[in-house]
Structures are given as structure tokens and as C-alpha cells.
Amino acid sequence: MRTPRISNAIIKRLPVYRRYLGQLQRQGVKKISSNELSAIIGFTASQIRQDLNTFGEFGQQGYGYSVDYLFGKVNEILGLDREYKTVVIGAGNIGKAIANYTYYYKIGFNIIGIFDANPAVIGTECNDVIVQDIEGLREFVEANNVDVGVICVNRENAQAVADLLVDAGVSGIWNFAPIDLEIPKSVALESVHLSDGLHTLSFKMKSISESK
Amino acid sequence: MRTPRISNAIIKRLPVYRRYLGQLQRQGVKKISSNELSAIIGFTASQIRQDLNTFGEFGQQGYGYSVDYLFGKVNEILGLDREYKTVVIGAGNIGKAIANYTYYYKIGFNIIGIFDANPAVIGTECNDVIVQDIEGLREFVEANNVDVGVICVNRENAQAVADLLVDAGVSGIWNFAPIDLEIPKSVALESVHLSDGLHTLSFKMKSISESK
């Protein structure tokens, strides 16, 4: 399916639809209305209908959506109907956590290489993948047509690693370093800012405490 | 400052303002207009003015905002003008990564306890904090008036840990387990769904590849 032009807001909501639809599948639910989805997800029913209509006709008025069909379609829209060759740079706690996560939940991002600059870490194993010297990163990415690089190094080294990954030809970067990377528009970038979530949490705590 | 009722959308944008203002501070920038902020952050200038006006008068038309003052105000709004006693449950890679992150970046969430059920991990150290047996979690939270629990256990155990934290009296839960926790409204909850970011990334990669 070719993707229509859609807003950043929908792009952020699509993974949320996928997550809840996956939960419904695991619970054995077959059909769901936009009102029922709304009650679970928290978006309004009209928002949900509007979002899904952006991509085609997935349900019939009054009959609801097939959970399996919709889950498959959302996967397709998100580009999750294929696998991505992925490398992790930085074999510290975050790097290993990501490698374990993608391995354990089998989410289509296959970690085929892990790289680090620390001699004490090079040669150790993580889910049957041996940590390699970062000196070999560029050659590995080029030789294996790696799709995605996951940056788990510190703030100081993150931009240099990103530049190298871009030069070597990756299509996407998933960044965990607390820095805003500069990346050409031809490469997709998604950054996880852990502090944002923590600050949202403190805001919510403050609001609850003031309302008591 | 008492917090006015504000939308979820602003709550998500506030940490972004804080992050960029912190960067500007580190770069030594003293004054910034809403147009300049817009160019850096990517929200429209009118959106920025509207967001900040929700909380008071922080700038003067045509003169821009003082970066230091605005950073301080955003911190205050977010409830970051105090410290939070925090415990981490689950001393695996994610738990250790979070403990390191909060320790290294000194962001006001002080990890005073780390807990795990695995005898091989209990007694080990992480940034001078000794990993304790999860059996002692409730007593520790109650005795130390812990504010925040960070859940870094697997999907299967996350709800039980959350229930225990709520019973023991925490005000907030930062959840890394891939599950939607059920928490009373009196406790703040913020969940990090790693898969959401990865799915947004695959969507962006697909969109870029189709536009080529």
C-alpha cells in the first residue's frame, strides 16, 4: 500500500493503535467498534475513524473493525510487513537492553551486529551476537546492507557515530543519546528522550498533588 | 506556581521546551524570540506563544524571552524545582541503564534503592546503591517515603510490582514494561513504550523510500 501524506500527529498515533490491536489479538477479540477502541485507547471515536479513513476503508458503519485485518493493515502502513537488518552501537546497559528487547519480542528488527570502542567489551556476547570493534562498523554496514543503526553511545560521541552510519548507507537511525542529531532528510531519525517521559511524570505528580 | 488545567498535548510539549532551553543555556544564549524558538523546535511560533501564555506572561512582545528565566519557569511548571526519592525495580539492563542515566545527568530523581528477585543480582552494586531483595520493597518504600518507582521488570510481573508500589504509597510510576498498567488516578503513571518509537521509525523509513 502506498502511503498518503499524513501528519506527524497521526504518525505518533499509529504505533499506539498497533499496540492496542496487538493486545486485543492476544485476548482473542475478533471485532471491535470505534467506540470500543476509543474507550480502551482514549482517543475519541471520531478521531479513530478519521485516522483510519486516511488509509482506506477498513470497517463498515455499524459493524466495527476486524481486529486481525486492522492489525495487519496497521503493520503494513507502519512498514512492519518486512524485516530490518539492524546494528547497535554502544554495548552498555542501554545497548544490551535494546538488543535483548528486539530479540525477546521478535519485532522485525534483527540485530546482526553490536559495536563498541571499549576493549573490555569487544568479544563479549549478547544473544549470540559477538560485540565487535567499532573500527569495523562502516565496513560491516556496507557489506551487509544494514538498514537501521541504534545509537546507544554517550552524548559526546553520538553525532560522529550518526555521521558514520549515514555515510555507510543506513536508512534509519534510532537514537538513545540525549542529543538532537543532525541527519540528512534522506535518512529517517527517531530519538528516544528518556528525560521527556520523566518530566511528564513529574508534571502529572505535581498536578495530582495540587488537586488533592 | 499553581498549575492551570492544561491539555495532554501541552504536557507532552513542555519537556521538549525544557530540553531545547537547556541546550540554549549550555550554548550561552541569553534571549530568544518565539520565531527563533520555532525554527529550532519545529512548533509554530504562535503555538509556542500560546503554550507559554497558558502559564503566565513570560516574554514581552518584540523583545523575546530570557532563556534562563524561561528555563526556570518551565522547570517550576514541570515540578522539577524539587527532588524525588526514587526506587528502581528490576536490576537488568534497563534498570541499570536508568540508574546510570539519572545518576550521570543529575536530573532530580535520586535513586535511593534498587530491587530484584534474582539471588544472583541481589547484593551487587550500581552507582554505590546495593541491589536489595524485592521482598523488602514495600517496607523500604514506606520507611523512606519514596516518591517514584521505576518498573523495569518483565511484562508478566509488572502489574504486581505496580500494585505493591501503589499500596506502599508512591506518587508516581515510570514504567518500562511493555504493558498498559492499571493504576488508580491518585498515582501518576508514565509508560515508555520502546516499540512505539521503533514503529514510528519504520514508518518514516517507508515514507522516505516511497518518495524517492
Backbone angles phi, psi at A109, to 5 degrees: -105, 100
**pLDDT of B169 above 90:** yes
Distance (Å, whole) CA B89 – CA B151: 5
Residue A10's pLDDT band (boundaries 50, 70, 90)?
confident
Has residue B110 got a pLDDT over 70?
Answer: yes
**Residue A171 — pLDDT band, cuts 50, 70, 90?**
very high
pLDDT > 90? residue A179:
no
What's chain B's average pLDDT? 90
CB B206 to CB A79 under 8 A? yes
- The pLDDT of A34-41, averaged and rounded, is 90
Q: What b/e readout covers B113-150, taking b as 16+ CB neighbours within 10 angstroms?
A: bbbbbeeebbeeebeebebbebeebeebbeeeebbbbb
- How far does the CA of residue B25 sit from the closest CA of chain A (Å)? 14
Confidence of residue A52 (pLDDT cuts 50, 70, 90): confident
pLDDT of residue B46 exceeding 70: yes
pLDDT at A187: 98
Query: A199 and B18 in contact by Cβ < 8 A?
Result: yes
Query: Does B79 contact A23 at a Cβ distance shorter than 8 Å?
Result: no
pLDDT number for residue A54:
81
User: Which of A98, A185, A202 has its CB closest to that of B84?
Assistant: A202
**What kind and span of H or E run contains B86?**
strand B84-89
Which pLDDT does position A53 carry in this prediction?
83
* pLDDT for res A188: 97
Rounded mean pLDDT of A139-168?
96
Please, which residues 74-133 of chain A have a Cβ atom closer than 8 Å to chain B? 77-80, 84, 92-94, 96-98, 100-102, 105, 107-109
| pLDDT classification of B128: cutoffs 50, 70, 90 | confident
State the pLDDT confidence band at A4, using cuts at 50, 70 and 90.
low
Assess whether pLDDT exceeds 70 at residue A3: no
Cell of B110: 535520586
- Is A51 within 8 Å of chain B by CB? no
B14-19 average pLDDT score:
90
Q: How confident is the model at residue A168 (pLDDT cuts 50, 70, 90)?
A: very high
Q: What is the pLDDT of residue A55?
A: 77
pLDDT at B8 > cutoff 80: no
If we measure between CA atoms, which residue out of A201, A202, A163 comes closest to residue A179? Answer: A163
Confidence class of residue B64 from pLDDT cuts 50, 70 and 90? confident
Count of CB pairs separated by less than 8 Å, A with B: 178
- The ipTM estimated for the assembled molecules is 0.88
**Chain B residues near residue A210 by CB distance under 8 angstroms:** 2-3
Give the nearest chain B residue to A170 (CA atoms): B205
Lowest mean pLDDT among A4-13, A40-49, B22-31: A4-13
> Which has the minimum average pLDDT: A80-89, B36-45, B98-107, B115-124?
B98-107
**Residue B202: predicted pLDDT:** 93
Assessment of whether the complete model's pTM goes beyond 0.90: no
At residue B2, the pLDDT reads: 54
Averaged pLDDT of chain A: 90
* Chain A residues within 8 A of B192 when measuring between CB atoms: 192, 194, 197
Please, which pLDDT band fits residue B59 given cuts at 50, 70 and 90? low
Q: Which residue of A has its CA nearest to B177?
A: A101
B97: closest CA of chain A, how far (Å)? 5
B133/B117 Cα distance (integer angstroms): 6
* E runs forming strands in chain A: 31-32, 59-60, 64-66, 84-89, 109-116, 125-126, 129-133, 148-151, 172-175, 188-191
DSSP type of residue A90 = -
Q: Which residue has the higher pLDDT, B149 or A61?
A: B149
